[in-house]
Amino acid sequence: MEGRCAVETWTEFGFSGTPYTPKIKFGLGTNVFLCTGSDEVFVFSTQERKLRAVLQFPGPVSDLVECHDKQLLYVSCRSGVYCISFPFLLSRVQSSPADASSSPAELKISSDFLVVGEEGALSLLLVSSVLLILSQRDTSWLLSLYKTPEQTQSSSYEMLGSFRLPQVLADLNSDTEGQTGTRRRPVLVCVHPGHPKSPSSSSTSSSEMTITDSHFCLEPVLFKLLFGIDAALARSPVILCGLPDGRLCFLPLRLPGSQLRVLRSLEQPVVFVGASVVMETGPGLARCLVAVGEQGRVVLMKTDKGEPEGGGDMAGFIEGCVPGPVVCSFVDEHHLYYSTGSDLLVLDLSEGSSWREGKERDGETSRKTAAAFQSPTSLNVCRVIALAAPALNTTGDVQLLGLTIRGQLQRIILPAGREDAGSSNLPSTQVGRSVRDLLSAIGDVCERASVLKTAIKSKNQILRHLNHVLNISFLLLANKNSEEHLPMQEKQIRCYAETRWSRLLQKDSLNLTCVLDNSSPYVLEQGWTLSITVFPLSYSSSAEGESSSTNFSFPFHNLNPGETLEVSLPLSAAGDTSFPMRVSCSLIFSLSSLLGEEETAHLPSLQSSCISLPLNTLTVDWLHTLQVNSPTMHPISRNATSQSSNITTDTVQAFLNSHRSRCAGRGEGGGEGASKAEREQCSASVRVSSELLRDTLVLKSSDLDPRGPKSTPQNLCSSLLDWLLYESPEGVKMGHQGDRFVLSSSVVHARGPTGDTVKLTAKEVNVGEESLRAIEVQIESSSIAAVCGLHHAVLRRIQTLLQIAPERAASTMRVQSLGLRQALQRA
């Protein structure tokens, strides 16, 4: 069993969803500065264990850095960098009401404190008297150097220069942004060359810059190997810069002509850059640079002793991957601490440092390396999103400052006996650990457990959902494979439709009401979309037809077994004659709806992927578009109140049309067209065997119609018309305004979609010598388009009738249809 950490919560802030990653910084005495990414910076006193001040900035705070010598605090904000003098801050805090013990002082930072008006500053670093600002411009990273004034705060900050680095891999960056909603702050640290040989110079330099979490002294050989001889000769501090695009760049600060150069690429956003493995002998010289990426890649940079043959030391890069995302990280003398958001883990680097020393670089050691990276030790502290080390380490234990996602500032005291980890018997010091520590640890475990629970629950939910989706997919695919054998009615999930004329703003339009019927045993859950594509049949082969297709999508929530979903869509306006139309229905399931929005944003390729399952295809033909007039009235004299205006306009229109065509005819063809007093009627006819009709229609209608079998020719005629107009053999039927007319006569007057009147007549005729009795359906209209369309529609209907007719009937029946051309000629 591992030793437990003592977690002590100092204070709690409420915060959520901020534009920048939070940061904690220990500095300027015993204060902790917190910037949570929002507009505020909190100043917490570790001595008094309370929040001393809240600094309110005009925009989200991206970074802060303190200057020890001058007691200044630099804070970068959207509009630029602000500089606040700490003594001034304290005086303001003290001058505020004396009962400040209860509430911290709130200070609004105005633009008077603005020292550098550089927009979009993301990270700050102070190297002696130079303030470095890293910001992101359109396509490049910009590192600007400003000279801080010697004495007074009022004098200006002189810009010394700037370095540009073009951006690469924008995807990598946007990916993380999309996932968390916050921008990852680039890491900016400074590496100083350590000079053990000249103690006098190092002591002066160390007095200027104290070793904090963004300044380290590196062992000279490693420094030379990584950053070059020139930087070492010039004793130039080197700026290391870990970018969200994964690159680790360096810049020798005081070398003329130096440029930002890439040291290494982690290929994932850099979370942390630090130095570790302090030599026992040298004072504070790091022997190893550590860089940590967001997805767990760890790169250790250290000196490799060269082989005796080749001679000379080399810079060694050891790469490894720790499990889990890394939210924040911290390095102390021998350990790398990192938080995955759900747990705080520790990795022993001193083990790692010996992996290569004096050993052959064979497969075994590298495997050992990988194994060591794979097995970090859990500290059982959850939800830590920012880490820092307190400057004072009085007791000698390892202490960390953590900020949790809930805004709790915690002091994490690591178990002292952890170095000899693995030994099962706890050291006596640890037994005496207070109950409070144990309780807080238990609380942490509880919190972690609840996080895991919700994660498992949502996973189960998704699996159940996916199961439903797969069931439905198999059902529909099975349907598709056996489509020929299954009549439409037997499909368990299908669509049927109804056409309906409606009138809106003086314009008639034909609407299609589609009904999705779920008679399967499965629920159509959230994520399904009914997609309906409408395209004219006659153009479907040509390129023009593709452009004229219209697509409608109807996402819906839940459709339980036995329920129906009714959607309505505009089919065409009056005057449009692109019938027959094909309506193809399909069900689409988007995979992104399986996962929540967060996960989807994480996998951009998933957003567009979906399952599309075709349902069935419906055809809307001319017969569906007819508006049948009441059989009792003559179409012209009828004055149904709802449609009177419609009729008059129609007749006027018809008159105008005929007039125009007559004029045209006169103009072109001379006197021939003018001689005909009345406009010519086109007509076409279709003949069907009466026997067949009797077999099929009467059989069909007998159970529908309570008036019993109709066998008389007159009845047969009217029932044929009735069937043509109102039945729905393929799932589409004609809607009707008001009551459905009972067709008693064998003549139907109707208006087509173009407004022409159409007359359908059914009568019994004898065909040929065998005196085969047949029913002739004659279509008459002044519009050729209407006649052609209706003729086609009637033929198609009768063909389907033949398909459903019994075998016997089919063998004897005979259909004769006169060609359209003949009919026209006769007309």
Partner 1 sequence: MSDKMYQPTNLLNKWVQENNELVNKCKFAFASSFQQQEGGGDTLSRDQNQTPLRSYSSEFHKLLRKIQGVPPLVNHTHLELSVVYNACVCSTAQSQFTEAELLLIQAIQRALQMTGDEPVASNRTVFWRTVLKSVGNTTFNTCVRYLLCLQWAIWLATCQLTIIQELKEELSSLFETLCGGVGDDKKNEARGKSSDIPLLVTDPRGLVELLQICTSIIQGAERLSEGQSSEALSALQTASSLPAPRALLAYVHFLSGSCLAHMSRPQMALQCYRKALVTDACCVSALYQSMLIYRQLGNTQAEIQALRLLQSTLMLPSVTVPALATTHLLSPSLLLCSQSLSSLLSVPSALSVLHSLALKCVLHGRVSEGVEHYLDLLAALHSEDQHGVHAEAPALPRLPELYLEAGAALLMARRPADCMALCNEVISTTLELLPEKVVLEDPEETSEAETRDMSVDGEDRVGMLLWTGAAYLLQGHCHTHLKDWKQAVTHYTRCINLLVRVRFKKKGFQPQITSGDMVVKQGTHLCILQRLKGLSLAGRGISFTQTDQLKEALRDLLLSLQASPECVGAGLWCGEVLWRLGRRQEAAACWEKTWSFTTQHHSAEGLPVYLQEPQSGPLLDSTELRHRIQELGPN
Name residue 691's amino acid.
E
Q: How far is CA 567 from the centre of its chain?
A: 27
Nearest residue (CB) to partner 1, 133 versus 278: 133
Cα–Cα dist 524/559, whole Å: 5
CB of 154 to partner 1, least distance (A): 13
Nearest to 294 by CA among 342, 337, 244, 240: 244
Nearest residue (CB) to partner 1, 220 versus 390: 220
Q: Tell me which stretch binds partner 1 (CB under 8 A): 234-242, 411-419, 431-439, 600-608.
A: 234-242
| 4 binds partner 1 per the rule CB under 8 A | no
CB of 664 to partner 1, least distance (A): 38
Q: Look up residue 299 and give its two tokens.
A: 């790169």
Among 100, 130, 426, 486, binds partner 1 (CB under 8 A): 130
Among 1, 229, 431, 543, binds partner 1 (CB under 8 A): 229
The burial class, CB within 10 Å (0-12 / 13-18 / 19+), for 763 is middle
Q: Tell me which stretch binds partner 1 (CB under 8 A): 102-110, 127-135, 659-667, 740-748.
A: 127-135
CB 66, CB 35: distance < 8 Å: no
Q: 3 CB contacts (<8 Å, ≥6 apart)?
A: 414, 415, 416, 417, 418, 421, 426, 430
Nearest residue (CB) to partner 1, 88 versus 157: 157
CB of 14 to partner 1, least distance (A): 33
Q: How far is CA 275 from the centre of its chain?
A: 38
| 230 binds partner 1 per the rule CB under 8 A | yes
CB of 25 to partner 1, least distance (A): 24
| 99 binds partner 1 per the rule CB under 8 A | no
Tokens 């499990």 belong to which residue? 323
Nearest residue (CB) to partner 1, 59 versus 417: 59
CB of 305 to partner 1, least distance (A): 11
Nearest residue (CB) to partner 1, 129 versus 377: 129
Name residue 349's amino acid.
L
Nearest to 288 by CA among 272, 305, 300: 300
Half-sphere exposure of 240 (CA within 13 A, CB side): 30
Nearest to 271 by CA among 385, 169, 351, 170: 385
| 497 binds partner 1 per the rule CB under 8 A | no
Among 27, 186, 228, 713, binds partner 1 (CB under 8 A): 228
State how beta strands 238-242 and 247-252 pair. Answer: antiparallel
Torsional sign, CA 648, 649, 652, 657: negative
Tokens 């006596």 belong to which residue? 428
Q: Tell me which stretch binds partner 1 (CB under 8 A): 252-260, 278-286, 619-627, 713-721.
A: 252-260
CB of 145 to partner 1, least distance (A): 6
What is the 3 state secondary structure string of 301-350?
EEEECCCCCCCCCEEEEEEEECCCCCCEEEECCCEEEEECCCCEEEEEHH
State how beta strands 50-56 and 105-108 pair. Answer: parallel
Per-residue DSSP letter, 125: E
Cα–Cα dist 681/425, whole Å: 107
CB of 163 to partner 1, least distance (A): 8
CB of 118 to partner 1, least distance (A): 7
Helix (H) or strand (E) holding 656: helix 644-669
Cα–Cα dist 598/805, whole Å: 57
Nearest to 387 by CA among 331, 443, 349: 331
Nearest residue (CB) to partner 1, 65 versus 328: 65
Among 43, 64, 218, 225, binds partner 1 (CB under 8 A): 225
| 754 binds partner 1 per the rule CB under 8 A | no
Nearest residue (CB) to partner 1, 196 versus 631: 196
- First-to-last alpha carbon distance for the chain, in angstroms, is 101
Nearest residue (CB) to partner 1, 251 versus 571: 251
- Between residue 312 and residue 331, which ones bind partner 1 under the rule CB under 8 A? 312-315
CB of 116 to partner 1, least distance (A): 8
Tokens 């979490």 belong to which residue? 213
Q: Tell me which stretch binds partner 1 (CB under 8 A): 233-241, 436-444, 547-555, 615-623.
A: 233-241
CB of 361 to partner 1, least distance (A): 15
CB of 130 to partner 1, least distance (A): 7
Nearest residue (CB) to partner 1, 221 versus 611: 221
CB 674, CB 666: distance < 8 Å: yes
- Between residue 142 and residue 161, which ones bind partner 1 under the rule CB under 8 A? 145, 147, 156-161
Among 29, 117, 487, 669, binds partner 1 (CB under 8 A): 117
Q: Look up residue 698 and give its two tokens.
A: 């009467």
CB 13, CB 36: distance < 8 Å: yes
Cα–Cα dist 777/763, whole Å: 7
CB of 263 to partner 1, least distance (A): 6
Nearest residue (CB) to partner 1, 160 versus 573: 160
CB of 359 to partner 1, least distance (A): 20
Among 163, 373, 501, 528, binds partner 1 (CB under 8 A): 163
Among 194, 242, 252, 415, binds partner 1 (CB under 8 A): 252
Nearest residue (CB) to partner 1, 163 versus 338: 163
Collapsing DSSP to helix, strand or coil, 654 comes out as: helix
Cα–Cα dist 683/827, whole Å: 7
Nearest residue (CB) to partner 1, 160 versus 439: 160
Nearest residue (CB) to partner 1, 115 versus 760: 115
CB 294, CB 184: distance < 8 Å: yes
Among 39, 40, 63, 118, binds partner 1 (CB under 8 A): 118
The site for partner 1, by CB under 8 A, has a size of: 50
CB of 155 to partner 1, least distance (A): 9
| 279 binds partner 1 per the rule CB under 8 A | no
CB 686, CB 817: distance < 8 Å: yes
| 166 binds partner 1 per the rule CB under 8 A | no
Nearest residue (CB) to partner 1, 150 versus 280: 150
Please state the length of the chain. Answer: 827
Nearest residue (CB) to partner 1, 251 versus 299: 251
Nearest residue (CB) to partner 1, 317 versus 554: 317
Nearest to 316 by CA among 328, 303, 325, 329: 303
Half-sphere exposure of 522 (CA within 13 A, CB side): 19
| 54 binds partner 1 per the rule CB under 8 A | no
| 257 binds partner 1 per the rule CB under 8 A | yes
State how beta strands 550-555 and 344-348 pair. Answer: unpaired
Cα–Cα dist 1/421, whole Å: 9
DSSP, residue by residue, 666-702:
HHHHTHHHHH-SSPPPEEEEEEEEHHHHIIIIIHHHH
- Between residue 194 and residue 213, which ones bind partner 1 under the rule CB under 8 A? 197
Helix (H) or strand (E) holding 128: none
CB 539, CB 548: distance < 8 Å: yes
Binding to partner 1 by CB under 8 A, coded x per residue (else -) over 288-317, reads ------------------x-xxxxxxxx--
Tokens 């972690």 belong to which residue? 448
Among 263, 286, 516, 594, binds partner 1 (CB under 8 A): 263
Cα–Cα dist 557/518, whole Å: 13
Binding to partner 1 by CB under 8 A, coded x per residue (else -) over 543-582, reads ----------------------------------------
Residues that bind partner 1 (CB under 8 A): 117-118, 128-130, 145, 147, 156-163, 197, 220-221, 224-230, 232-236, 251-259, 261, 263, 306, 308-315
